[in-house]
Structure 1
Amino acid sequence: MRYYYKLVGHTPVAVNSLSEWQNYLHSVQDSLKHLVAETIVGDAKISTSFSGFDLTFGDPPLLFETMVLGGPHHGRMQRYSTWEQALTGHDRTVVEVMTTSLPDE
């Protein structure tokens, strides 16, 4: 089972070692290659990106993550296996943040 991945185009590819993964991260840290999408809705920023590691240790691995930062949905998170799923999930999250409100606490 592999835990570390790099992106080749929009396709995750398993790497052979932690050092190879770290070298990949260092090479893309200042680029937007890992960013799938980012959208601002009011006080919230919805960001979807490639993490490069599988925290679920599942099959298929979950390597992409959408996170809501700020606003009433702050902390909402969803993970995906593919770039296409991540893009669809990002768009779905944007619509939900735009059209739903949380109950008052």
Structure 2
Amino acid sequence: MTQNFRNYMDILDELYILDENKQPIKPESLEQWSDWRKNENNVQVALDTFSWGRVSTIFLGKDYSNFPNQEPQLFETMVFGGEYSGKFWRYSTWEQAVAGHQEVCMIAI
């Protein structure tokens, strides 16, 4: 039981939702995180469609940073189709994600 609780807390520690100002905050529970993510508007940052495919930027809701002292990597832009298909970029903040999305759209055109 203690091990399961510890695992639950470890998982919860990696999860985030966004507040009303698009700032990442920790959810109070796994249920809150799951319910919050069900609303597509909470997750989608930007989406652009082109003749060759699309560029999508989302809030991941989980920290994908690779190193302990690295800022949380919570947002991701991914290209679907075209020359850059499958390439992705990650960001820590909403503002970085929006700017990164626009940059990737310009590169991928």
TM-score by length of 2: 0.77
Confirm or deny that 1:92 pairs with 2:103.
yes
Cα-Cα RMSD: 1.8
Distance 2:108 2:79 in 1: 9
Which of 27, 47, 54 is the aligned partner of 1:15?
Answer: 27
Q: Which amino acid aligns with 2:57?
A: T
Larger proportion of helix: 2
Residue ranges of structure 2 left out of the alignment (5+ in a row): 1-9
**More off after superposition, 58-67 vs 12-21:** 12-21
Matched with 1:41 is: 50
- State the distance in 2 between where 1:46 and 1:73 align: 10
| 2:103 aligned partner, one-letter code | R
Report the identity percentage: 35
| Cα contact 1:42–1:71 (8 A) shared by 2 | no
| Alpha-carbon shift at residue 57 of structure 1 (Å) | 5.2
Q: TM-score, normalising length from structure 1?
A: 0.79
8 Å CA contact 1:41–1:94 kept in 2: the answer is no
Contact map agreement 1:41 1:97 (CA 8 A) in 2: no
C-alpha distance after superposition, 1:15-72 (max 9, x if no partner): 244333223223x2xx322111111122120000101001225531010000001112
Give the number of equivalent residue pairs: 95
Q: Distance in 1 between matches of 2:66 and 2:107?
A: 28
Who is 2:71 aligned against?
60
Instruction: Quote the residue 1:25 is aligned against.
Output: 37
Higher-strand-fraction structure: 1
Does 1 or 2 have the higher relative contact order (CA < 8 Å, sep 6+)?
1
- Structure-2 residue corresponding to 1:103: none
Distance 1:17 1:33 in 2: 17
Gaps of 5+ in 1: 99-105
